[in-house]
Amino acid sequence: MAKLYFYYASMNAGKSTTMLQADFNYRERGMATMLWTAELDTRSSGMVRSRIGLEAGAHLYSPDTDLWNEVQAAHNSRPLDCVLVDEAQFLTKPQVWQLARLADEAGIPVLCYGIRTDFQGELFPGSAALLGIADTLVELKAVCHCGRKASMNLRVDAEGKPIKQGEQTEIGGNDRYLALCRKHFSEALAR
């Protein structure tokens, strides 16, 4: 039976690297995969890129993308053995249910990778839906500067000072975000 998986973590935990490794494992065995990433992340449009230099082409999804129809059309042309979704925090709740349907009705395993919470400690909509309905939840580990597990994402300005307010989504990497443990995240925001 196919399952819906959610691999989640703070930034810099190796989510994209883990996804690309899973994709490689399927393809190495002659199996067909389909990769997706968020159109919103303009840093590497049409590519899944890891910080350690691995990359692969991917289909882009936006909030309007019907993942059920798009994947089913590809699956009808060439049967898919796995669908992998990067930046899954940007999925809409209906898209998460479409991915669950792919696992349940089409029998295609779906592996989603994303950030659990934003820079204020709030769940992203896609992450909330995945945490609620995924068959398997896997937390990947990042490390805070103190050595503890980093579970939070602190947004910083150009001088490295914490940002407390703003839009939930602001695309950026190490220049805009720090992965911290909850203690150091709270201290940085003076909670």
CA 180 to chain centre: 18
More confidently predicted of 74 and 168? 74
Residue 125 lies in a domain: yes
Residue 37 lies in a domain: yes
pTM > 0.85: yes or no: yes
Domain that holds residue 40: 4-141
Residue 190 lies in a domain: no
What is d(CA 71, CA 30) in angstroms, rounded to the nearest whole number?
19
At residue 163, the pLDDT reads: 65
Residue 142 has pLDDT above 60, yes or no: yes
Residue 152 lies in a domain: no
CATH number reported for the structural domain that contains residue 42 in this entry: 3.40.50.300
Residue 169 lies in a domain: no
Residue 187 lies in a domain: no
**Each residue of 40-99: pLDDT tens digit?**
776 667 878 787 778 889 999 999 999 999 999 999 999 999 999 999 999 999 999 999
Residue 58 lies in a domain: yes
Residue 110 has pLDDT above 60, yes or no: yes
Query: Looking at this protein, which amino acid is placed at residue 137?
Result: L
Residue 9 lies in a domain: yes
Say whether 87 is catalytic: yes
Q: Which of 87, 139, 167, 187 is catalytic?
A: 87
What would the two tokens of residue 90 be?
């940007």
Q: What is the count of structural domains for the chain? A: 1
What is d(CA 119, CA 89) in angstroms, rounded to the nearest whole number?
13
Mean pLDDT of 23-27: 97
Q: Tell me the HSE value of 167 on the side-chain side, using a 13 A CA sphere.
A: 4
